[in-house]
Chains A and B, each alone.
Chain A
Amino acid sequence: MPDWQLVLDSFWPLLLGGLTGTIPLALASFALGLVIALGMALMRISKNRVLNGIARFYISAIRGTPLLVQLFVIFYGMPSVGITIDPWPSAIIAFSLNVGGYAAEVIRAAILSVPKGQWEAGYTIGMSPGTTLRRLILPQAARVSVPPLSNTFISLVKDTSLASTILVTEMFRVAQEIAAFSQKFLLIYMEAALIYWIFCFVLSGAQNLVEKRLDRYVAH
Chain B
Amino acid sequence: MSPTDPLAPVETPDDSVLLEARGIRKSFGDNEVLRSIDLEVRRGEVVVLIGPSGSGKTTVLRSLNGLETPDGGTVSIAGGPSLDFSKPISKSERYALRDRSAMVFQQHNLFPHMTVLQNVIEGPLRVQKVPREQAVAEASALLERVGLAEKRDAYPFELSGGQQQRVGIVRALALKPQLLLFDEPTSALDPELVGEVLQVIKELADEGWTMVVVTHELGFARHAADEVMFMDGGVVVERGAPKELFSNPREPRTKRFLERILRPLD
User: Which residues of A approach B to under 8 Å, CB–CB?
Assistant: 115, 117-118, 120-121, 123-127, 131, 135-136, 139-140, 143, 216-219
Contact = CB atoms under 8 A, between A and B. Distances in A.
A3 B102 CA distance: 74
A140 B168 CA distance: 18
A130 B155 CA distance: 24
Contact of A117 (B105, B127, B175): B105
Contacts of B109: 115, 117-118, 120-121
A124 B103 contact: yes
Contacts of B123: 125-127
A150 to B, nearest CB: 19
A121 B111 CA distance: 8
Contacts of B172: 124
Looking at chain A's contact residues, is the secondary structure mostly helix, strand, loop, or mixed? Answer: helix
B128 interface: yes
Contacts of A121: 105, 109-111
A182 B110 CA distance: 63
A139 B113 CA distance: 7
Contacts of A218: 112, 157
Contacts of A123: 66-67, 98
Interface string B115-128: 00000001100111
A131 B110 CA distance: 16
B1 to A, nearest CB: 25
Given A124-B98, A127-B123, A136-B111, 9 more contacts: A118-B109, A118-B111, A121-B109, A123-B66, A123-B98, A131-B126, A140-B113, A217-B155, A219-B158
Contacts of B128: 126
